[in-house]
Amino acid sequence: MKSPHACKYLYGLIGYPLVHSFSLDYFNQKFISEDIDAQYINFEIEDLGLLGEIIAEYPNLNGLNVTAPYKEAVIPFLDTLDEDARLIGAVNVIRFIRDRSTGALTELRGYNSDVVGFGKTIPSILTPERTSAMVLGTGGAAKAVRAAFEDYGVEVQFVSRRKSESTVVYEEITRAMVAAHKIIVNATPLGKYPDDNRCPDFPYRFLTPEHICYDLIYNPEETLFMKKAAAQGAETKNGIEMLLLQAFDSYDIWTMGDD
């Protein structure tokens, strides 16, 4: 594979840590199979302030994906936001808009493809009993999940480690609350490889076969959250389909308007 500086189009992922990246393999295989002069690389940065250095070093950079913990923190670095990203308050796709004649960077525009990716999976998990959801976590991914659910009329209750007006804490969850929310979504990083021996402190004993427990994590394929839910008879789903769908949307965003 040629140097990242040598390809016509460069894309990448910023986040920390980046132990394993589905996007890296997916996009590079796509570029090879479709004979696109492009490459995708990971930028594992502990300090988001390094974003400016990355942009300066790679004048062929045309787009970035953003993952934890920077989906919200990256917003002040951007010039404009798409409407979904603005309403959600989180960004996971950055489009680099460059002058066609000089290649000079003119704008960094933020988007949120998580809401599209998750939203397209919602019809497959709905049943007449599943009209309300508990979303574990309150970060950028959780906000995108809520926005997607709103389009389907699914009410959302956020669960967090810290009490607020819009959340309940794990210790407050009762059997009646779980019974009233037949969709449980893990939008936290708990259980993600390599810390796959962890899971949210949820009262799994209250789950039933009518529930679906949807983990946005895709590695490992079956998280501890999913295993504990399955042990109670609940349906489970991981985040690989959402990841694929948001990857498709990312590339469409980066290349919109291209000849």
By annotation, the residues acting in catalysis are 71
- Nearest-angstrom CA–CA distance, 250 and 92: 9
- Nearest-angstrom CA–CA distance, 98 and 59: 10
- Nearest-angstrom CA–CA distance, 160 and 167: 6
Q: Tell me if 121 sits within 8 A of 242, measured CB to CB.
A: yes
Q: Nearest Cα to 144, choosing from 202, 208, 216, 94?
A: 216
- DSSP string computed for 188-239: S-TT-TT-TT------GGG--TT-EEEES--SSSS-HHHHHHHHTT-EEE-S
Beta bridge partners of 10: 39, 61
Q: What is the DSSP letter of 176?
A: H
